[in-house]
Structure 1
């Protein structure tokens, strides 16, 4: 009976209420600390960094208490300024916590260079789709006397003959020199020798 009498005594009830009050205060204090340390209620809208230089990006993100990391350079896009932001993650308008890193992709200084493959000797119908698939543009077509019609004899850029392995920027214009099928297998040296032989034959005949 003495135990039950103690449980319902004023002293025990006061101690119990005091213990519950301390427990509640501890729980609320812990929750408040967790929210403050993890920025639970703080959300920052990611600004639109598209087409900004890194200098402007740094200023914009510092004002928003955010950081950035440049992860890559994309394929050149002429619609964006050189070295400006072409992609960002998280995207503009997304809500993030303070100090979050924004990952950026920048626009390079120009189109990447592509090596010229072995194309001389192939037909024009083979060469043109290959050059277009590599990202080049087809310029003017010059025809030259040659036994083979439609055969590509030279590739040129800005008047200079291109060789295998030469590198040009994507979208460069390449001119073609193509055979017209009107030539012969005889070289200019052979023709010259024939003239000499004909002259000797005439001399021997007394002309």
Structure 2
């Protein structure tokens, strides 16, 4: 066995195998650099507050693709249907045909169902309304009722609300409360 390892035939085949391995690694490295556009860098532009049409035009010029994710909560500081989030962030470097993921600002606040709060205390109703995204008005209407500060109704824009109605998130709801007197 040791004689075979010292033979010319073995050394010749070992040399050929090492050279072939080196050529394979070198060729594979060059092929990967060419097919993956190794040195290519496109800087992602800032797309915040741009409309979808402006974004499409800008990304097409840079040979980038876009993917719209589910709309987020309405943000009044951004124009309607404009970009409020992007991934990758502005300034990051990507390669051509990379997808830029966008979250658009909806045109209005989403509608939220009004809960049934009749019979709850003012504090309970205020906490629940705030937790689901409503604002509670400071002008309370009092009606004759034995329960003091117990909710007897809700108003939105001067109209009475019923449980289950849907109104925009962040709307101001006025409480109709009992005044604590007996009828």
Fold-level match, TM-score > 0.5? yes
In structure 2, C-alpha distance between the alignment counterparts of 1:105 and 1:37, rounded to whole Å: 31
In structure 1, C-alpha distance between the alignment counterparts of 2:98 and 2:121, rounded to whole Å: 56
In structure 2, C-alpha distance between the alignment counterparts of 1:60 and 1:165, rounded to whole Å: 44
Q: Deviations over 1:23-56 (max 9, x none)?
A: 98x9877755543332111111111111111111
In structure 2, C-alpha distance between the alignment counterparts of 1:103 and 1:32, rounded to whole Å: 31
Q: Deviations over 1:123-165 (max 9, x none)?
A: 1121111111111112220111212211111111112111110
Where is the helix percentage greater, Structure 1 or Structure 2? 1
In structure 2, C-alpha distance between the alignment counterparts of 1:35 and 1:171, rounded to whole Å: 53
Q: Which residue of 2 aligns with 1:75?
A: 73
Q: Which residue of 1 aligns with 2:91?
A: 93
Cα pair distance change 1:57/1:178, threshold 3 Å: same
TM-score by length of 2: 0.80
Alignment of 1:69-148 (within 5 A): 69-139=67-137, 140-148=139-147
Q: Which residue of 1 aligns with 2:170?
A: 171
In structure 1, C-alpha distance between the alignment counterparts of 2:162 and 2:27, rounded to whole Å: 75
Aligned residues: CA RMSD: 2.1
Cα pair distance change 1:124/1:28, threshold 3 Å: closer
Structure 1 unpaired stretches of 5+: 1-19, 185-207
The Cα shift of 1:183 comes to 2.4
TM-score by length of 1: 0.72
Q: Which residue of 1 aligns with 2:158?
A: 159
Match for residue 42 of structure 1 among 28, 34, 40: 40
Greater Cα radius of gyration, structure 1 or 2: 1
- Higher RCO, Cα 8 Å, sep 6+: 2
